[in-house]
Chain A
């Protein structure tokens, strides 16, 4: 925080000095909005400040300092100064020849302030439990539930939040007519904690947190040259991701010393600790060349070819940290590191012509190939959950893919008030090492725009696509070497499956008077996976919105809208145990519906002309989830419905106190209500009493909570 305060201080000081020292002919302006705020929240729920910091006490909401004189112009603009969500932007331009822009921004992401955990981070990436606890649980496994219940009740809070600090510097130079060179450098640092899973057993989900300490550096140079009808652009860049924590190690609450036995992966009581690999360091180098040509007859061609290469060569961790698994010691790793490498080759070519009067025609071709060149490694086996050795061999699969989209678009305006259009697109995709190697899709689209009356516009679109697999390897992928099923033969994964897709959209805008605007919008999407016996079978979405703005008098502005969204999916699955069942009597089906409603309204009234104005905004959003389940035996029961609801009201009075100063009084209330079986009141220790076993799961208890927050603030907007 001190670093950012200091940076801001220097920026403001520089701004102040520059304004003061500016010559008389200089033009400058500055303004700032500052004040004091009080707020209260009845529950300590992080959602209220998920991506922001709501300040208490004095605060500087925004400021701008601008100066322009002769060739030079500069500005400093900032919001939420000295807070965890602050942004400061500095721009300096010298004529049209060059300009520099530097931005510093912080983006918080708060997940939970009520999470608890008995773990302590004793070193970066190492979460430890007291040895006494592990020893007691190891020696008295039957007392585990009671011991953990007591321990978790008094476990300290763990803040689940991280913050991204972003610094971006950009310089733009125009050295000569037609030339422009842009150099950009970005540093993105992320630090904090995020909830993570660290299971030890099939029935022993343990929640821990991922300590985050990551840095991303990006650099890019883009040069373009324009002359007459041609523009050439060359873009090159490098991106480096550096994770200061390559692994996460955490203690097992059930054991102090390592052991292994055949069913340890169920009980999670084999190893003293677990270890997982965090996101590996990686690098990308890329380059793009683009060309645009203005052709005769109002036509234009653009062609872009890009290539990039990603590499990742982080050293592999051992099979396990469990020292009592002999196979993990005797079997060497097949490689020291993955030596992972992928090359992307992409091209985009478009020809647009307006050669024929009232007709815009576009031919386009887009090609994208992700060629994963990572060597395929064969592992002799793996250690499941740091508990037991599972013999292999197991091959890695460096998945790759290739997409080719070719299309034609025609937009015709036969009359000034009528425009029609159509498109045809053919997509082919290839998927390396997946069960469907190739698929193709034909897409047809139609568009219509009408201006039936001077103040009415209508726009409608429809799109239909049919995707079909061309080459598949189901038999090979869904069975093992002995021909035994390892996957349900009827499963079709929805990102590859045959699909019939229909999309429609319509917008109507009407301005009955110059004071009133009305808009209606409807969108429909249906994905029908018509050859899918098992898996996602269909999805249907509807979105309806209506908006209005009204200016009944010069002093009054009103606006508002309503939106409704419905998302329905149907999926079918088949219950299986250790081996694949082909019995349809154990199928089950889930019909899910998510409905969301959204209302917004805003009103502005200049109660006392040029002196006092009153503004208000209201937002309401509600999502309602329904989970309907069925099976032939009739034993399936629906899951409880879920509800997320938010009201957000803000009213504001602005009084013009002086010619250059406004006083602002603001009141806001936010009401958030949640009903969700999966994330409300999640127990710290899962009290499972079903056939799944005893209470083993240790959670962070970071569930979402219902809350209400009130906020009152007084501010001054001062123009210097």
Chain B
């Protein structure tokens, strides 16, 4: 605890030092002015049509609660010099608007963060995505989102397809025999993870893996009269949530999974001695054929999770 206190103090000291060292204001130069979105429509009809369908168009009606500047120029910056260039790329004014394809990831995200600060965006700056140069526009497409009937403006048709574009090993894991209903559309990656960052590990939407799993599997939440210690500490000790080749997305085949820890008395643990392999501890749910309350028991006789 002392160490954590020391670390916290160090963290706060660093923050304070940075606060004291005020940043210099950006140098000003002859700046273009705002024209309004209607001016953009004249040349960018296709983008305009798409823009009308998305939430940013509606934000224009409520500038008072959103930002100083909304509409096309809310993101792309004042457009007078760009408009005056009349499509002439050699005109210096042409490039005065913000072109997201040319921006560094951090700069692109900074624009979005001008308005999107609530919810999980609180953690964006510290998120692994931000630190590894993933920009908002890597996953979101404001003008050309192929996603149907969603306000998220995803750059792909759905969440899973988007995430699997980079997290390639997960595609293979989801194809395994034991999996959660992601392939079938019953769940998506963002049900468990927040790509914008969280206060939990691995960007899960909870303070711990267990807190996350028990949001849906609340029956396993307890606390129980008789606890199974590893269950209480981490569901991932026994389960592989992205998919496994075992029943219940277990990390190993039973009884071997259980026998990683349970090698003690009363049970002949060598079920495999010749001449036959017939044992009611080998079939179906194996150990949990009998120890059915393996996540914890609330029965006075449930010490070994049999009741």
Say yes or no: B222 contacts A312, CB within 8 Å: yes
Q: Contact check, A678 vs B282: say whether CB atoms are below 8 A apart.
A: yes
| Number of residue pairs spanning A and B whose beta carbons lie under 8 angstroms apart | 478
User: Interface majority SS on B: helix, strand, loop or mixed?
Assistant: loop
Contact with A along B221-264 (1 / 0, CB 8 A): 11111110110111001000000010100001110100111011
- Number of residues in A with C-beta < 8 Å to the partner? 206
* CB 8 Å contact bits of A374-412 with B (1 = contact, 0 = none): 100101001111100000001011111101101001010
CB of B163 within 8 A of chain A?
A: no
Contact B279 A690 (CB under 8 A): yes
The contact of B169 among A91, A298, A491, A523, by CB within 8 Å, is A523
A679 touches B172 (CB 8 A): no
CB of B273 within 8 A of CB of A636, answer yes
Q: Is A596 in contact with B19, judged by CB distance below 8 angstroms?
A: no
Q: When the two chains form their complex, are residues B256 and A592 in contact, meaning their CB atoms are under 8 A apart?
A: yes
User: Which of B171, B215, B252, B289 meets A569, CB within 8 Å?
Assistant: B252
A257 at interface by CB-CB < 8 Å: no
Q: Which of A279, A382, A592 has the largest count of B CB atoms less than 10 A from its CB?
A: A279
Give the shortest distance, in Å, between B161 (CB) and chain A (any CB): 12
Docked complex Cα distance between A175 and B95 (Å)? 36
Chain B contacts of A598 at CB under 8 A? 171-172, 175
Closest to B182 in A: A51
Interface size on B, residues (CB 8 A): 125
Q: Cβ of A46 < 8 Å from any Cβ of B?
A: no
Tell me the smallest distance from the CB of B211 to a CB of chain A, in Å: 7
Closest chain A residue, CB of each to CB of B150: A77
Is A219 in contact with chain B by the CB < 8 A criterion?
A: no
With both beta carbons as reference points, the residue of chain A lying nearest to B169 in the complex is identified as A543
Residues of chain A within 8 A (CB-CB) of B15 are 293, 295, 299, 301, 351
| In the complex, A142 has a CB within 8 A of chain B | no
Check if B30 is an interface residue, CB within 8 A of chain A: no
Interface string of A335-367 (1 = CB under 8 A from B): 000101110101011111111000010111111
Question: Does A431 sit within 8 A of B, measured CB to CB?
Answer: yes
B286 within 8 A of A: yes
- The smallest C-beta distance from B274 to any residue of chain A, in angstroms, reads 5
The reply on A211 being an interface residue by CB < 8 A is no
Question: Which A508-544 residues have a C-beta within 8 angstroms of B?
Answer: 519, 521, 523, 534-536, 543
Does B129 make an interface contact (CB < 8 A)?
Answer: no
Chain A interface: which of B33-41, B61-69, B84-92, B138-146? B61-69
Q: How far does the Cβ of A248 sit from chain B's closest Cβ, in whole Å?
A: 10
A571 CA / B221 CA spacing, docked (Å): 30
Contacts of B256 on A, CB cut-off 8 Å? Answer: 569, 571, 590, 592, 627
| Of the residues A27, A70, A89, A399, contact of B229 by C-beta under 8 Å | A399
| CB 8 Å contact bits of A30-59 with B (1 = contact, 0 = none) | 000000000000000000001110000000
Which chain A residues border B301 with CB–CB below 8 Å?
319-320, 382-384, 386
Q: Are B289 and A205 in contact (CB under 8 A)?
A: yes
* B303-A382 in contact (CB<8A): yes
- Per-residue A-contact encoding for B139-182, CB less than 8 Å = 1, 0 else: 00000000011110000000000000000110111011100010
Apart from A85-B186, A569-B252, 18 more pairs, CB < 8 Å: A71-B61, A107-B181, A177-B67, A277-B297, A280-B298, A333-B300, A340-B222, A344-B207, A370-B232, A372-B232, A379-B300, A385-B307, A386-B307, A563-B175, A575-B268, A596-B172, A679-B284, A682-B284
Interface residues of B (CB under 8 A from A): 3-4, 7-8, 10-11, 14-15, 18-19, 21-23, 52-53, 55, 57-59, 61-62, 64-67, 106, 117-119, 122-123, 125-126, 131-133, 148-151, 168-169, 171-173, 175-177, 181, 183-187, 199-201, 207-208, 210-211, 215-216, 218-227, 229-230, 232-234, 237, 245, 247, 252-254, 256, 259-261, 263-266, 268-270, 272-274, 276-286, 288-293, 295, 297-303, 306-307
5 A–B contacts, CB within 8 A, in A order: A85-B184, A295-B19, A304-B199, A360-B131, A404-B3
